[in-house]
């Protein structure tokens, strides 16, 4: 009895009272039994006789990853960190257990630095994690390496990993000048930006040549992005091209070109701006005299000065600010009789121009990365009683100082003023925090506890400390976790919460030390 | 027997967690801070965990079970403290006690009580008294006979229902809903044939599964018919096939009884472990493989709904252990007997190409037509991602098989487009990948 399967299905659908498969006899009831018998034989034959299909298109083969395999302990740690990643977002109180989500970024940075390859089986979880958390992306994708890039080309959910700007540096490197040129000429916009950015790190001149070759045919918004990538590896060699870009059709491109040129103190634009700034700022017998420009002429506009002030600002002050921002700081000691930056800043400024002038110098110091001026503008950390009258953005100025000096300044600041104003400054300090800085932060937390406030008023700093405090400080923190009388005027329950918060901090530090140890032991 | 239990990996520990929340909570406790007095021997791990109360919780884990005890009030099992403790231990942070050091009294008490229990259990099975046991056996035989009669009644009724169904035709079943099927399933439960009942319930879902449902429904109806007829005619079947039919209908055999049969001692590599759950039961399937005899064994372990089954075997370890197979036409399901020790694999097992693997599935089906998951080891295969359907292709030929499901990214990741070795369950509609090996390591990677 060998009845076709379709025939059986047809009869089964209609019922044997209406239709019988060929070869099945008897009344409707007998035919139904016969149909079932045939179906039973048929299904076994069908399944046992399955043949393989023909393979469709095969994926490309991933580029080999030459980096070392993770040590076992580190691999397990990564598994734990990745499995906890969903937990960090919950708004509930975390108790005394460490916060693993805070540790993942650091783990990734360390693994990347140590030059390990990501275990392939963990790549899907890693790519998912980095998709949800942009702060992880640069390190996660670098760590994911060529295998991660290969996976991302296959799964639309991970397409973000192929885009530039999300830290996609993991793509296969084009080899040889021909491939580079081809990618530049035929690649997608994202690939081209990534290529340019990458090249600027290693061969800035080659990158510039590529850009110059196609510059005229690029769209305005693309030109802006390409120009922006010149920030990396900026040098005097870029000046002629940037000068040319000052005449670009697009206003945004012109402004960016001007900004880049002004970061090159030797450039002709910087010299022109210095000339203009000098003519506005001079030294009189009673102090610095400011004579802001009366007009914004075509030459100034061409050098990137925006003629229209934002609402609420006078146009003359607006123009002056832009001139001083863009003038090389070396202009001023010469202008003011060889005085040092400290002496210049101490000079009185007439007619209420001081805030404008000093704010401009701050911006110039940041743009030109001038540590001497940054130090002078910051001054010594304000003393405890002194009012906080910050000039410019102290965090940005700090970021220009050498690491040790930065940490010392912030430590002294915290010792005098506590933590409430220090969050952004802490954010620019090198990780792990230098010992004096760590001590200052922990002491300040201890003082806050004694003052009777709740720990969650300091959750931002606590979170930073979990990531940045040197694990060597764990002992100091652990001592705080245990102790403490309830101060008489403290908020109810605060002591217990502080105990938990310190315990969490100390156990997170312990974990951090362990996990870094695992990575470094291999 | 006392030799080292290999330290588990974090994955293996997390596999014990009854739910995602416990996993997260356990992972958070995997730091030294809340713990004190931790220690470990080859058999057990213990520690005190500071909680919200004034007294720390006493947590102890017997690694050989594994079994857990904790003084916390949680009803989850294992609780987060046990998970945290194991994670801490697995990461090497557990400050293990010096060799031979004794556990604290509270832990030692529990551990030794368990050990006594374990030693007493086999004795109870192998030491029957004379008189009462004989009477007991007599009663048991009578009970079995009565049940067989009831199941036969159920099978006959099912046959009638199926015949009626095909007289009237399947058309319209996709709109009829589950009710009629649930009712027949309930009749099968009454008839003490749970295996038939679950297949009947399955039919109800096939009817509404869309696509080419009439063909799939006829397949399942045909197999159900074959099973009912097989049970009614079981006296004429060869003994192993009759056992298979009895098992599929829903008769169970006690583990102790299986262990009383022939035991196979071998180096069993733990290939895969995964759980499936319905509203009543969590079923854990653990695949073992004896590379010397090229033999698979499937160990099942059950837990009440929401609880992890007790038995956990770390994937990638090699158990020197005795295994006894349930009697069947295709012996797969097995009971784990005495364990003598654990080790690590020295090389990845070798498998076959796609074609021979499919042939082995066909051969097994001829012996057990109701087989839904046949273990296959494949060598040099490449996963091919696809939007709707993934495939697995031979590296050397054009042959390919569909994979079940659409999330095989871990498999793709370990392959990187290159051939891998793969362990999978083969079924009528495709492969379910469970573990893979890269060239680099003899350790299977759970998928």
- Which pair of tokens denotes residue B435? 């573990």
What is the C-alpha to C-alpha distance for residues A186 and B21, in angstroms, rounded to an integer?
Answer: 49
Looking at residue A458, its pLDDT comes to 83
Confidence band, pLDDT 50/70/90 cuts, at residue A89? very low
DSSP letters along B214-233, please?
Answer: HHHHHHHHHHHHHHHHHHHT
SS3 readout for B11-77: HHHHCCCCCHHHHHHHHHCCCCCCEEEEEECCCEEEEEECCCCCCCEEEEEECCCCEEEECCCCCCC
From the list A52, A69, A124, the residue facing B358 with the nearest CB is A52
Q: Mean pLDDT check: name the lowest of A441-455, B91-105, B199-213, B268-282.
A: B91-105
What is the C-alpha to C-alpha distance for residues B97 and B93, in angstroms, rounded to an integer?
Answer: 12
From A326, A330, A208, select the one nearest A263 (Cα to Cα): A326
Best to test chain A binding among B409, B419, B436 (most A CBs inside 10 Å): B409
Per-residue pLDDT of A104-150, as tens digits, reads 888 998 898 889 999 999 999 999 998 888 888 888 998 999 999 99
What is chain A's alpha carbon radius of gyration, rounded to the nearest angstrom? 33
What is the C-alpha to C-alpha distance for residues B383 and B123, in angstroms, rounded to an integer?
Answer: 50
Mean pLDDT computed over B62-66: 76
> What is the pLDDT of chain A when averaged over all its residues?
84
Confidence band, pLDDT 50/70/90 cuts, at residue B164? very high
Residues paired with residue B335 on neighbouring β-strands, in sequence order: B324
Chain B residue numbers touching A77 (CB-CB < 8 A) = 10, 91
What is chain B's alpha carbon radius of gyration, rounded to the nearest angstrom? 24
Mean pLDDT computed over B420-430: 93
Give the number of other CB atoms < 10 A from CB of residue A103.
22
Q: How many angstroms separate the CA of residue A247 from the nearest CA in chain B?
A: 49
Mean pLDDT computed over A464-493: 73
A18 touching chain B per CB within 8 A: yes
- Which pair of tokens denotes residue A204? 């800035």
- Whether residue B405 has pLDDT greater than 60: yes
Q: How many angstroms separate the CA of residue B52 from the nearest CA in chain A?
A: 9
φ, ψ (nearest 5 deg) of residue A31: -65, -35
Residues 6 or more apart in contact with residue B3 via CB below 8 angstroms: B42, B341
Looking at residue A92, its pLDDT comes to 43
Mean pLDDT computed over A36-45: 93
Mean pLDDT computed over A314-320: 92
From B96, B113, B22, select the one nearest B62 (Cα to Cα): B113
Q: Do B299 and B288 meet the contact criterion of CB atoms below 8 Å apart?
A: yes
Per-residue pLDDT of A172-210, as tens digits, reads 555 677 778 888 887 777 778 878 888 888 888 888 988
Sheet holding B399-402, edge to edge: A53-54, B399-402, B391-394, B374-384, B420-427, B430-437, B445-446
Give the number of other CB atoms < 10 A from CB of residue B135.
10
Residues paired with residue A284 on neighbouring β-strands, in sequence order: A287
Per-residue pLDDT of B358-379, as tens digits, reads 999 999 999 999 998 999 999 9
Confidence band, pLDDT 50/70/90 cuts, at residue B188? very high
B303 SS3 class:
strand
Per-residue pLDDT of A498-514, as tens digits, reads 888 888 888 888 888 88
Mean pLDDT computed over B214-221: 93
A343 touching chain B per CB within 8 A: no
What residue of A is the nearest CA neighbor of B168? A15
What is the C-alpha to C-alpha distance for residues B6 and B314, in angstroms, rounded to an integer?
Answer: 9
What is the C-alpha to C-alpha distance for residues A477 and A513, in angstroms, rounded to an integer?
Answer: 14
Contact at CB, B361 and A155, closer than 8 angstroms: no
CA torsion angle A295 A301 A304 A310 (round to 10): 50
B93 touching chain A per CB within 8 A: yes
Q: Do A329 and A364 meet the contact criterion of CB atoms below 8 Å apart?
A: yes
- Which pair of tokens denotes residue A411? 């430590």
Confidence band, pLDDT 50/70/90 cuts, at residue A95? low
Looking at residue A251, its pLDDT comes to 86
Between CA B158 and CA B165, with CA B160 as vertex, the angle to 5 degrees is 95
Give the number of other CB atoms < 10 A from CB of residue B202.
14
Best to test chain A binding among B213, B374, B413, B445 (most A CBs inside 10 Å): B413
Contacts of A482-488 spanning 24+ positions with Cβ under 8 A = A484/A449, A487/A449, A487/A450, A487/A451, A487/A452
B19 touching chain A per CB within 8 A: no
Convert A394-429 to b/e letters by CB count within 10 Å (16 or more is b). bbbbbbbbeeeebbbbbbbbbbebbbeebeebbebb
Looking at residue A322, its pLDDT comes to 93
What is the C-alpha to C-alpha distance for residues B305 and B363, in angstroms, rounded to an integer?
Answer: 36
Looking at residue B97, its pLDDT comes to 45
Q: Do B225 and B203 meet the contact criterion of CB atoms below 8 Å apart?
A: no
Looking at residue A90, its pLDDT comes to 41
How many interface pairs between A and B have CB atoms less than 8 angstroms apart? Answer: 224
> What is the pLDDT of chain B when averaged over all its residues?
85
Confidence band, pLDDT 50/70/90 cuts, at residue A87? very low
Query: What Å distances lie between residue B20 and A85, A132, B445, CA to CA?
Result: 12, 19, 21
A86 touching chain B per CB within 8 A: yes
ipTM field: 0.77
Per-residue pLDDT of B4-16, as tens digits, reads 446 777 777 777 7
Contact at CB, B169 and A124, closer than 8 angstroms: no
Chain A residue numbers touching B402 (CB-CB < 8 A) = 53
Mean pLDDT computed over B282-290: 93
From the list B23, B90, B369, the residue facing A76 with the nearest CB is B90
Q: Mean pLDDT check: name the lowest of A211-215, B291-295, B308-312, B376-380.
A: B308-312
What is the C-alpha to C-alpha distance for residues A56 and A63, in angstroms, rounded to an integer?
Answer: 21
φ, ψ (nearest 5 deg) of residue B17: -65, 135
Per-residue pLDDT of A342-400, as tens digits, reads 999 999 999 889 889 999 999 999 888 899 999 999 888 877 766 666 666 788 889 88
- Whether residue A101 has pLDDT greater than 80: no
Looking at residue A271, its pLDDT comes to 92
Place of tokens 């499936």: B276
User: What residues 93-132 of chain A have any CB closer than 8 A to a CB of chain B?
Assistant: 94-100, 120-124
What is the C-alpha to C-alpha distance for residues B331 and B329, in angstroms, rounded to an integer?
Answer: 6
Mean pLDDT computed over A210-224: 87
Q: Mean pLDDT check: name the lowest of A78-82, A168-172, B28-32.
A: A168-172
Residues 6 or more apart in contact with residue A447 via CB below 8 angstroms: A418
Between CA A253 and CA A258, with CA A254 as vertex, the angle to 5 degrees is 115
Tell me the percentage of chain B whose pLDDT exceeds 90: 45
From the list A12, A58, A121, the residue facing B414 with the nearest CB is A121
Which of A330-344, A484-498, B172-186 has maximum average pLDDT? A330-344
Mean pLDDT computed over A248-271: 89
- Whether residue B325 has pLDDT greater than 90: yes
């Amino acid at each position: 009895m060998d009845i076709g399967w379709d025939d059986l299905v047809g009869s089964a659908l209609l019922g044997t009272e209406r239709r019988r498969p060929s070869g099945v006899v008897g009344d409707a009831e007998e035919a139904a039994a016969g149909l079932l018998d045939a179906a039973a034989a048929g299904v076994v034959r069908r399944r046992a006789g399955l043949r393989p299909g023909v393979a469709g298109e095969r994926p490309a083969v991933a580029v080999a990853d030459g980096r070392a395999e993770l040590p076992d302990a580190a691999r397990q740690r990564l598994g734990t960190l990745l499995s906890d990643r969903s937990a960090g977002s919950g708004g509930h109180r975390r108790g005394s257990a460490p916060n693993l989500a805070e540790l993942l970024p650091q783990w990734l940075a360390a693994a990347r630095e140590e030059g390990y390859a990501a275990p392939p089986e963990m790549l899907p979880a890693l790519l998912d994690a980095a998709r949800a958390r942009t702060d992880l992306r640069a390190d996660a994708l670098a760590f994911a390496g060529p295998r991660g890039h290969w996976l991302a080309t296959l799964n639309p959910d991970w397409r973000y990993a192929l885009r530039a700007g999300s830290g996609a540096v993991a793509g296969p490197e084009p080899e040889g000048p021909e491939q580079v040129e081809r990618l530049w000429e035929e690649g997608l916009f994202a690939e081209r930006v990534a290529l340019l950015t990458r090249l600027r790190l290693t061969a800035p001149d080659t990158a510039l040549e590529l850009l110059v070759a196609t510059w005229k045919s690029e769209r305005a918004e693309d030109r802006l992005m390409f120009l922006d990538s010149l920030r990396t590896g900026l040098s005097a060699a870029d000046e002629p091209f940037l000068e040319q870009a000052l005449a670009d059709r697009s206003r945004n491109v012109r402004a960016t070109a001007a900004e880049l040129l002004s970061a090159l103190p030797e450039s002709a634009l910087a010299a022109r701006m210095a000339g203009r700034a000098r003519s506005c700022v001079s030294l009189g017998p009673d102090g610095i005299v400011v004579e802001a420009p009366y007009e914004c002429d075509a030459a100034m506009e061409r050098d990137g000065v925006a003629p229209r002030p934002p609402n609420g600002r006078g146009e003359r002050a607006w123009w002056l600010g832009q001139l001083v921002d863009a003038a090389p700081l070396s202009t001023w000691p010469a202008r003011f009789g060889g005085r040092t930056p400290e002496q210049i800043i101490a000079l009185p400024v007439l007619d209420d121009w001081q805030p404008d002038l000093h704010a401009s110098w701050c911006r110039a110091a940041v743009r030109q990365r001038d540590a001497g001026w940054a130090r002078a503008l910051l001054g010594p950390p304000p003393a405890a009683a002194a009012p906080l009258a910050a000039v410019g953005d102290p965090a940005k100025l700090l970021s220009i100082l050498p690491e040790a000096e930065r940490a010392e300044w912030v430590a002294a600041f915290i010792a005098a003023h506590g933590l409430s104003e220090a969050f952004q400054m802490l954010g620019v300090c090198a990780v792990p925090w230098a010992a004096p800085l760590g001590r200052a932060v922990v002491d300040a937390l201890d003082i806050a506890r004694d003052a009777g406030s709740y720990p969650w008023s300091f959750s931002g700093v606590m979170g930073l400390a979990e990531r940045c405090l040197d694990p060597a400080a764990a002992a100091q923190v652990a001592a705080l976790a245990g102790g403490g009388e309830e101060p008489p005027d403290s908020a109810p329950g605060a002591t217990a919460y502080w105990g938990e918060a310190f315990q969490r901090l100390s156990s997170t530090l312990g974990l951090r030390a362990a996990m870094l140890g695992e990575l470094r032991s291999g | 027997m006392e030799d080292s239990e290999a330290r588990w990996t974090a994955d293996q520990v997390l596999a014990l967690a009854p739910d995602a929340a416990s996993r997260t909570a356990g992972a958070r406790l995997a730091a030294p801070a809340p713990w004190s007095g931790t220690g470990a021997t080859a058999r057990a791990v213990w520690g005190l965990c500071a909680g919200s109360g004034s007294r720390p919780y006493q947590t102890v884990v017997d690694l050989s079970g594994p079994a857990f005890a904790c003084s916390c009030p949680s009803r989850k099992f294992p609780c987060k403290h046990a998970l945290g403790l194991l994670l801490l231990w697995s990461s090497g942070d557990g400050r293990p006690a010096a060799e031979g050091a004794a556990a604290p009294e509270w832990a030692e008490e529990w551990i030794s009580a368990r050990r006594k229990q374990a030693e007493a259990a086999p004795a109870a099975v192998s030491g029957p008294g004379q008189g009462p046991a004989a009477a007991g056996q007599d009663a048991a035989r009578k009970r079995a006979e009565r049940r067989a009669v009831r199941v036969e009644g159920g099978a006959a009724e099912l046959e009638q229902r199926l015949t009626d169904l095909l007289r009237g035709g399947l058309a319209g079943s996709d709109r009829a809903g589950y009710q009629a099927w649930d009712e027949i399933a309930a009749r099968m439960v009454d008839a003490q044939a749970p295996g038939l009942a679950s297949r009947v319930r399955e039919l109800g879902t096939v009817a509404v599964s869309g696509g080419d449902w009439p063909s799939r429904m006829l397949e399942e109806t045909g197999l159900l018919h074959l099973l009912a007829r097989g049970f009614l005619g079981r006296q004429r079947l060869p003994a192993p096939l009759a056992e298979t039919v009895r098992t599929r209908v829903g008769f169970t055999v006690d583990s102790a009884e299986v262990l009383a049969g022939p035991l196979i001692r071998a180096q069993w590599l733990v290939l895969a472990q995964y759980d499936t759950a319905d509203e009543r039961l969590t079923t854990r399937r653990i695949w073992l493989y004896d590379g010397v005899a090229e033999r698979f064994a499937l160990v099942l372990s059950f837990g009440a709904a929401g609880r992890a089954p007790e038995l956990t075997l770390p994937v990638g370890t090699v158990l020197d252990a005795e295994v006894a197979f349930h009697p069947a036409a295709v012996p797969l399901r097995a009971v784990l007997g005495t364990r003598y020790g654990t080790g690590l694999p020295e090389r990845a097992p070798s498998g076959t190409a796609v074609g021979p693997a499919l042939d082995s599935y066909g051969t097994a089906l001829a012996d057990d037509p109701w087989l839904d998951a046949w273990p296959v080891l494949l060598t040099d295969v490449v996963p091919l991602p696809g939007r709707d359907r993934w495939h697995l292709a031979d590296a050397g030929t054009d042959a390919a098989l569909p994979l079940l499901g659409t999330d095989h990214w871990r498999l793709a990741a370990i392959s990187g487009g290159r051939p891998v070795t793969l362990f999978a369950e083969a079924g009528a509609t495709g492969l379910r990948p469970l573990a893979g090996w890269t060239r680099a390591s003899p350790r299977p990677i759970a998928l």
